[in-house]
Each structure stands twice: as C-alpha cells, then as structure tokens.
Structure 1
Amino acid sequence: MAWKRYAEARAPLEKAVELRPDMFEMNAPLGATLYALGDDPAAYRVLSHAHELNPQNAEVAGFLFKVALFNLQDRDNARKEFEAVRSQTGDGPNVMYYLGRLDLMEGKVDEAIRKLTIAASDPPFPDTPYYLGFAYFKKRDLTDAEQWLRKAAKLAPRDYRVQQRLALLYQAAGRKEEAEKAFAESSELHKHDVQATEEALACGHSLDTQPLDQSRPACEKLFDPEDVSKLVTLGTLYGEHRYYAEALDAFRRASDLEPDSYEMQYNLGLTYFRLKRYAEARAPLEKAVELRPDMFEMNAPLGATLYALGDDPAAYRVLSHAHELNPQNAEVAGFLFKVALSLAQSRARKQDYAGAVGYLRKAADLHPEDPETHLRLADAYTVLGDPSKAEAEREQARRLDHAGH
C-alpha cells in the first residue's frame, strides 16, 4: 500500500490520540498509518502503547509492533519477536515472510528460500514472490529466480523492482534484448509511481484548500480504471474529506479489479455505510468478513449495518464476534446491548421466556448498571416459575435505581 494514501490521515489521527491517549481504537490506526508512511520510530512508540492497551489484538497492535522493529533494522529483537509468534501460531505465511526476509538480509539464502517458499503458498503481501525470486537470484539459481519473479510480475504488475530484478537476471543470463526491455519497463513504472505520488499530493492539497467542484480536475487525474493503487488513493482522499458519494466510483472499480481483496470490499462497504445506504453496504462487508473473519475492523461495520437493516439475529451473531475480538469497544458493545434487548423482546412475544432470558443475561453482562434489564429478567423468571431468581433481579434493579438517584 503506497504511503501517499496515509499522508492526509496522519494529522486527524494524531489529534484523536491527543484527545483520547489511552484508547486502543485511537492508537492502533495511528500506529498503522505511521508504519505505512515509513516513520518507524513514531510507529514503534504508538504501536507499543496500543499493544499495552490491548495485547490480545495481535494483528493490529502486536504484529505491527514487530514489523516496526523489522523496519527499524533492529534485526535481533525483530527475529526474537517473530520467533515468539511462530512458536505460538506455527509457520504461518505472515511470520515466515518476515523471518525469510531477515534471513535474506543476513545472507542466509537457503533458509530464506525455505521460509519464503512457505510464505508464497498463500502470499501475505504482493511482493512475497519478488523476495523469493530475489533469494534464488542471490543463490545464482536463475531458473527458479525467473519463475518466481515472473509470478511476482503477475501479482504486482506495477512494482518497478520486479522488472529491475528481471532485467539483472536477463543480463546475467546473456539475454541482452530482454534485459533492455525489462530495464525500460522498470524505468517507466518508476516514473508512473512518481507521477501518481505527485497527483495524490495535488489532489489532497486541492481538497484541503478549495471547494469540491474546483478540486475535481486535480483529483480525477487519479481515476485510472486499471490502476488499483490510484483508485484507492482517490477514494481514500475523497473519504478523508467526507466526500463519500464521490469516493464510490473509485472504490467500486477497485473492488471490481480485485474482488477477492478484503480491503477493497471493506472500502466499498464502509463508504456505502457512511452514506447510510445500508442495503448496498451489506454484500461487500459480508465479503470482507468472509475473507478476514477474525478481524475486528471488518466485523464491526457489518454488525452495525445489519443492525441498521433490522436483521437482529444476523447482527447479534456478528456483533458478538466483534465484541469478543475487542471487548473494549464501547460502540460495538452498545449496538450489541440494543440488539440483545430487541431479540429478548421478540422471544418474550412468542412466549419463549427461556430464550428471552439468554438474551437478557447478555444485555446485563454488557450493561450491568441498567435497572430496566434486571426488571425484565425478573419478569421472565417469574413466568418461568423461578421466584428466587426473580426476586434477586428485582433487588438488583432497586439497588441500581437507588444508586442512580
């Protein structure tokens, strides 16, 4: 993901952390943004704090904390951290990618090839085949190097480094014409990257300083229907300035180009959600959760969307999972509380009081200080013929009601 997508996000996120310094939801996206911008010392500091606030969220905080160590070139500590993850989770593609790259940096080419081959079985990043091809190139195995670099070119067709490495490979193999062609393509891709960066900066500056109508000419230069990176940059810039309707075309096209990318589906679904077009938000958000089922950031907006659509059973299931992933998030807890009460009421209307009790108990766990929930539990226990539990709930409601006055 190119740094240009995150440049405009830094200031508002830093302000959010300044206002709520001990809230995980503020620190984690700022840390990820700083990491994406390459400001590793700042990313290290913020992600360390995020990791302290919510050590269970390994993907958002802990893993990025380790990546910051990696990018700070603190190789010894980075290796220790990634080996610790490996001992807990096994040889997953993410951890093997970074351990393989560490081996490559340290000249352990055979170990790098072994680890990066595992990572390449389910590439966590588009440049995974590139580094595997690079490792084979360093071993002077030009046949396997070419095989993986060609795969890298398919997976990341706009990465100029791939063509540059292929050019060097062709040169080493005495294939002069192919080398010249690859060098030329690498140079063209690099120019394209520089141009895209300049266009993104121009669009962001224009949106910061001018009305939307005057900003459109600068921003629409980013609308390249075959370039996912530029499309996402455009959609993100519009979104950061709350022009969500304008962001839709870019995010729609990006999701068409990469339908199996959870990020593309998330961007599209979240934009529909912000426009309160909940019915249209549902499908892409469901796809994002299908692709990344254990990521809080995917589940939370889907749960809120289902709640807005009135699909309480589905909303309860998704919001419960989101709450398990991040129990500290008050907004998700609030939605789940409301859905639990709604489902309890629905069960009671059907005279399924045992079912109602289950949902009411969940609501009481989420907001134990709410006297109304305990009164509803008392009524349900009364109907179920359990007077002792009914009286205990009434007494709890009285205590809470008295404390509130």
Structure 2
Amino acid sequence: MFEGFDSSPTIGDLKKQITADPTNIDLRLLLASIYRGEEMHNEAVKEYKEILKLDNQNYDAWYNLGMEYFALKKDDKAVDALKKAAESSPDRQEPWFLIGMVSYKKKRIKEAIDAFKNTIERAPDNAFAHYGLGSAYVETGKYAEANEEFKRNLHFVPHDKGSLFRLKYVPKLSLLPEQEIRAARAAAAKDPDNPVVHHWLAVVLILMNVTEGVVDELRKAIKLDPKNAEYHYDLAYILDLNDDPDTIEELREALRIRPKYLDAMFLLGEHYGNHGMIDDAVRMFKKAMKTYPDNALPHYYIGATYADEGMFKEARKELKRALKLDPGNFEARRRLAQLYAEDELYDEAIEEYEKLIATEPGIKAARDSLEKLREMKRQSCER
C-alpha cells in the first residue's frame, strides 16, 4: 500500500509530509499504523478520523478505528465503526466477526448471533465464528442449534477442546439457561457431600459463560471424588484457558487414573506445545498414536507441531498419514496444501486445494489460493 515511501519513516517525518500534502490518505494511513504499533491509541483515532473526513468509505480507516476503540475499551464506538467498515466493504467478514465478539462480551446475545451469522455467510470456514455462534445459542437455550455449530467448528479445527467440552455436556441441558443455573446451585446446596452436583454446577456455569465459582466447584468435586479422571480433566481445561501452571498436574493426574484417556493426552500435548515444550508435546502425541494407532488426530497434531517449528518435510509426512486415516480432516488437508505451496510443489498443492473445495465450495480463501497456485504454476512453466 505504501510503495515509494521510506521503509521506516518516523512520526515526525510523516507529520511534515502530511503538512505539505494534507489530503494524502496513504501517508495518513501509514502514520496511523505507526501510532497503532506504538500503542498510541488516541493519536491513531484522531488520524483515522482525519482520513474519514477525506474518504468516508475507506474500509481500512473504519476497521482500524474500530480496533483502536476496542483497545481503548470503548466497545460501543468500536461496534459503530466496525459496522461502517462492513458497509464500506460488504464482502469482508472481519468486521462482522469482531462485532460478534464485542456483542457477546457485552451480553448482547441477539446482536452477537446476527454478527456471527454474517461472518459465516462470508467465511464459512471461520471456526471461531461457529464457536461463538454456538456459545451464543447456548445462552438463549437453543441447544440443538448450538451443537450443530460446535460440530462445524470441529470440522475446521480438529479436536477443539472448547467444542468437545460443549458437545459432551450441552446435550444434557433441558431447562432454560437461568433455570439450569438455579437448579444446579440448589442441588449443590442441598447435597454438599455429593461430588456429582458440584461438578455439574461447574459445568453449567462454564456453558453459560459464568466464570465465578467454577474452579471452586470443580475442586470440591475432586476433593470428594479424587479418583475421577473426568473431574481432573475438566479442571485442567479451565486452568489451561487461564494459562495456569497447575494444568499439567491435573492432566497428569487424569492420565494416572485413566492411562488411555485420549482427550487428556491431546490437551497435555497441546499445552506443552503452546508453552514451547516441543519435545514433550511430540512425546505425548506419539504416546496417543501408539495407544490409538487408527486415530488420525495424533498424526495431525504432530504434523501441525512440526510445521510450526519449520520442520516442513516431517510435517508433510505426518499430515499425509492423518489424511490417509481420515480423508475428511479439513485442517490437515489445508495445512498440507500450504506446505506443498511453500516448497513450490504446485501440482500437489493444487490437488489438495481442489479436494478442499470439493468438500467446502463456499470457502473463498481456498478458491483464491487455488487460482494463485495455478497462476504461479503457469509462470514457473514459462521460465
């Protein structure tokens, strides 16, 4: 966008250039982006407003203005700006997704549902939008619809721990959300020595996006029934979301109780990987592979870990194994296609993208990638 400008201009340099050329939108966008990078949010807001005086339909200005308001915790203004961004570029999904996230955070559930639907309409593979929509449906008591969205999330993000947790427990809900919470609290108060009711209260609070009391209720359940692997796993799931170091011990305890607990193996391996403990992560995924040789997910996890570490040849090998066991693993195929493209193996990359599009024809990003690869292959043949 800023071709021809100094590659590293200072704020002072840009201000001088803007004084000389005040209607130059590219200069102003560059200055605003530097403000953003320096976390000078109020200055960035002022600059984006100046840009919008010059071009009221500038998508970048509206979108980034929304992001800046979000950083300043001015959520209502953020949503207004993001709606303007969506109006100025109707095909873009990013503004709608952020509107959904902000609305969900503010408990404006109907607005969140509408925004997530708009996101998915434009980007069917936005797994986070499916997850957000499912979570919003839970809070309105639309449990069947929620389950469908969590399943869609899992289609794009294999073994997503949040969706797995919800698919395990949402089908057990039968009352409206507030009634579920009241009933669970009443049961825990009535039978305080019963670990089941404390565990269920924690589960209901998690599903209804209530954080207070969750860890306490899970610890009560574990104290009353310390050999219940599921209780340890559910506590680890919550601790992991908060980056709590006790996550590892809870998962290890779950595996001591139930050595073949696959979900615990995956979550522990993922936790290791997210904290840079790559050897431990691979070791855990290999343990899962040995325990469940016909399961594609250990190969996917190892392949994804290798890819993140730049070990592309090893990553391709594991992702191909995952796809041999589960041809429908969307994310494994997408990552394999990207790795082929990185190594300029155009025929292989094109083949994988064609398979992706055959199963999910509505995904524009995959279609765009396929067209780019075909053009790159054509250019390479002409050299």
Q: TM-score, normalized by length of structure 1?
A: 0.41
Larger radius of gyration: 1
TM-score by length of 2: 0.43
